[in-house]
Structure formats: C-alpha cells, structure tokens
Amino acid sequence: MPLVTLRQVLDEAALGGYAVGAFNVNNLEQFQAVVEAARETRAPVILQASRKARPYAGDAFLRHLMLAAVETYPEIPLVMHQDHANAPALCQSAIELGFTSVMMDGSLREDGKTPADFEYNVRVTRQVVEMAHPRGVSVEAELGTIGGIEDGQGAGGDPRAHLTDPDQAVEFVQRTGVDALGVAFGASHGAYKFRHKPGQDVLDIELIGTIHQKLPDTHLVMHGSSSVPRDLVESINRHGGQIRETWGVPLEEIQRGIRYGVRKVNVDTDIRLAFTAAVRKFLAESPEAIDPREYLEAARTAMRQETVTHMRAFGQAGHAGDYAPLPLEEMAARYSRSRRR
Ligand code: G3H
Ligand code: 13P
Ligand code: ZN
C-alpha cells in the first residue's frame, strides 16, 4: 500500500470513534518497532520525524526507511508526518521527501521556544496549507503552547499558562484551513511532565470536548501524551540510570480525551524509555556483550511491546484493513473542490 495521508487516516478514525498513535522515529530500530507493532495489532499508524530527527538520521536515510516500511508492511496504512516544523521551509522539504503530512508549529517563533502571537501563527500556517493542499498533503497546526521541559522544546514553565482558547481555535481553522489541530490542555513534552499523578485540576480534558463541539471536522491532536510508565523508569534506575520522580499522562486520561474527540495521540518519550530501559538492562546483565545487534534487538522488542500497548489503548488496533488508500491527487482534488465552494 502506498503511504496514506493524515486526513484520510483521521477521517476514518473519526468514523470509527478511535484515535491513531503518532510515534516519533529517528533510526532503523524505531521504524521497525513501530511498524511491527502495527502489523501485530493490524493497526493504521503514523510515523513522525521531528525537526531534530531530520539532521540526526539524514533526509536520504529517513526517506529510504520510510519507503522500506511501506514495502515491507504493504497491508498497513502508514502516514509519514513532519512533527513540529519551525518554519514553512521545513514543511516544504518534508513534502519534497515524500511525507504525506506536515505539522507547522506556528505557536512558537522559529527558535522553537518563544511563544508566537496569533497573527504570526495564522500567517505561517496558511502559507503551509497553500503549499501542501494542492499536492494532497495534510496539515496539522498548533494553537496554545505545549511546554517542554528537559528538551528545550516549547515554552516551558507552567503547562497551563497557554491553554487553547476554543473561540480562537474556530477563527484559526477558518483562516488557515488546517486538517488537524494540536491543542494545549495541560500536558507538556518530555519525561518530566508532573510531580504527582495528574487529575482533572491539571489536565483539562473537557476543554478538548468544547473545542471538538465547535470544530467537529478538524481532527484534534494530543501532544505530550507519553504516560511515562513506572516500570520502565524503575528498570532504568535499577540499572544505573537516574530518572527523578515523575508522572506522565495516564492512559485512562488519554482514553477520556479520545471520547471527547481526540484523533491523533503523539508519543515519543515512552518509546525512548523502553529503548533505554532495555539497553541498560541488557548491558548490565551481559557485561561481556559487544555486538550492538544483541542489545538493539532487545531494545526493538521493548519498543514494539510499548507501542502495542498504546495502539490497543487508543483503539486503532484491528482497523488496518478497513479502507483503501486515497491517492494524493484525489486528496488534492478534494481540497480544490472545497475551496471553490
Ligand atoms: O515534540 C517533541 C518530540 O518529542 C521530538 O523531540 O525534538 O528531541 O526529536 P526531539
Ligand atoms: P511525549 O514527550 O509526551 O512523548 O510527546 C511527544 C510529542 O508530543 C511529539 O510531538
Ligand atoms: Zn509535540
């Protein structure tokens, strides 16, 4: 099956009342773990490369890993998405690489840290929609800012300081025409999200419901959705790591978000934790090991298992065979028709 677009995969998810996990990938083992999990659960899946993944892996490697995934797993509807682009030029180059979806994160200025104003966000996002839609490529944006703590991504500080305003979201979607919108509801990127188990005072899941009611045709995206499993943190610390006491977003809160209209759930940190826990354990228990294939195999298995858990929790499992992919030309024609109406 050729790559599919985010728009199609999330339209189908909306019909089925489930969400689709978007997993960050930077190397061979992460690509393999995520698509293997999709095969195991018969799930559609979104692979996403962040701005930093691009130079880390190199564009040619990313492109060919993406093509290898499509060739090896022809039964899986697979979206290749640019995560958190800081400028239209990065979206443009992702489209040239063959990605079927891009996120223009205009909630922040080009430095990826400073909160941007609404007009800047509308302007850069609109520019990306005008470039992507004629080619059939889907566009995600972000409104409100999702802090990031240890990775320097996002505004940092209090994650509740810049929640998405529902009325502003309506104006934003009308003026940009995006397919999907990342909303700030109290979560943040990275391993250190909360000091205590987050409840309704911290995570404003009802806000997601309010935005969904106002924008039923725009697919809502939950960023910062790692649950930071305690067993992985404990395993890392047992084998020489030093992860401080921390909480992520509990899976049941994500499931509540899905009932309130979330269709794309972004997960990076949990896969990093699974990778790190497996490598630390393997090397601690086999100090004589020097063959990277041995510990990377352990890491790949752990990442696959973690991804399977998410795919089952999000409801995407079992939906891989529900639909045939719509070509980019067909998606482009649809956008063109809706622009003329
Ligand atoms: O949005 C944040 C993702 O976890 C990507 O992280 O920029 O370190 O690749 P990264
Ligand atoms: P986590 O850091 O919670 O995995 O969030 C990832 C993300 O939102 C990528 O865009
Ligand atoms: Zn994100």
Q: In the predicted model, is pLDDT for residue 24 greater than 60?
A: yes
Please report the pLDDT score of residue 103 as a whole number.
98
**294 C-alpha to center of ligand 3: Å?**
31
Which tokens hold the place of 337?
């028709």
Give the DSSP letter of residue 321.
Answer: T
Which residues surround ligand 1 with Cβ inside 6 Å?
24, 50, 52-53, 83-84, 151, 153, 189, 268
Among left, alpha and beta (phi > 0; psi -120 to 50; other), residue 204 is beta
Distance 113 CA to ligand 3 centre (A): 13
Name the pLDDT band for 165 (thresholds 50, 70, 90): very high
Distance in Å, CA 51 to ligand 2 centroid: 13
Whose atoms come closest to the Cα of 52: which ligand?
1
Given a cut of 60, whether residue 236 has pLDDT beyond it is yes
With a CB cutoff of 8 Å and minimum separation 6, the contacts of 341 are none
What confidence score (pLDDT) does residue 2 get? Answer: 86
Any ligand 2 atom below 6 A from CB of 54? no
pLDDT at 186: 93
Q: Is 81 in the pocket of ligand 2 (CB under 6 A)?
A: no
Any ligand 2 atom below 6 A from CB of 84 = yes
| Domain positions in the chain | 6-224+249-267+316-336
Share of the chain above pLDDT 70, in %: 96
Q: What is the structure's pLDDT at 157?
A: 55
Mean pLDDT (whole number) for 109-117: 93
pLDDT category at 146 given cuts 50, 70, 90 is confident
Mean pLDDT for the stretch of residues 233-249? 97
Q: Does 190 contact ligand 2 (Cβ within 6 A)?
A: yes
For atom 3 of ligand 2, which residue has the closest CA? 224
270 CA closest ligand 2 atom index: 4
Ligand sitting nearest the alpha carbon of 51:
1
Q: Which residues are known catalytic residues?
A: 83
Cβ neighbours, 10 Å, residue 316: 28
**Mean pLDDT computed over 259-274:** 98
* Ligand 2 atom nearest to 226, measured from its CA: 3
Mean pLDDT of 156-177: 85
The three state secondary structure string of 273-295 is HHHHHHHHHHHHHCCCCCCHHHH
Backbone angles phi, psi at 47, to 5 degrees: -100, 135
Confidence band (pLDDT; 50, 70, 90) for 160? low
Write down the pLDDT at residue 150: 39
Annotation: CATH topology of 6-224+249-267+316-336: TIM Barrel (3.20.20)
Q: Are 79 and 6 in contact (CB under 8 A)?
A: yes
DSSP sequence for 244-257:
PS-B---HHHHHHH
- The residues, ordered by sequence, that sit 6+ positions from 27 with a Cβ below 8 Å of its Cβ are 56, 57
Question: DSSP class of residue 288?
Answer: T
> Ligand 2: does its nearest atom lie under 6 Å from the Cβ of 164?
no
Share the mean pLDDT of the chain.
Answer: 95
Q: Whose CA is nearest to atom 5 of ligand 1?
A: 50
* Mean pLDDT of the 198-227 span: 95
pLDDT reading at 61 higher than 50: yes
SS3 content of the chain, % helix, strand, coil (to 5): 50, 15, 40
3-class secondary structure, 83: strand
CA of 146 to the centre of ligand 2 (A): 10
Q: Is the CB of 189 under 6 A from ligand 2?
A: yes
Q: 266 CB under 6 A from ligand 2?
A: yes
H/E segment holding residue 82: strand 78-85
Task: Among 24, 193, 203, say which to mutate for ligand 2: greatest number of ligand atoms within 8 Å of CB.
Answer: 24
Give distance in angstroms: CA of 224 to centre of ligand 3: 6
d(CA 147, CA 165): 16
Distance (angstroms) between ligand 2 centre and the Cα of 225 equals 6
Mean pLDDT of 96-121: 96
- Rounded distance between C-alpha atoms, residue 227 and residue 314, angstroms: 13
- The rounded percent of the chain whose pLDDT value lies above 90 is 91
Give the pLDDT of residue 341.
72
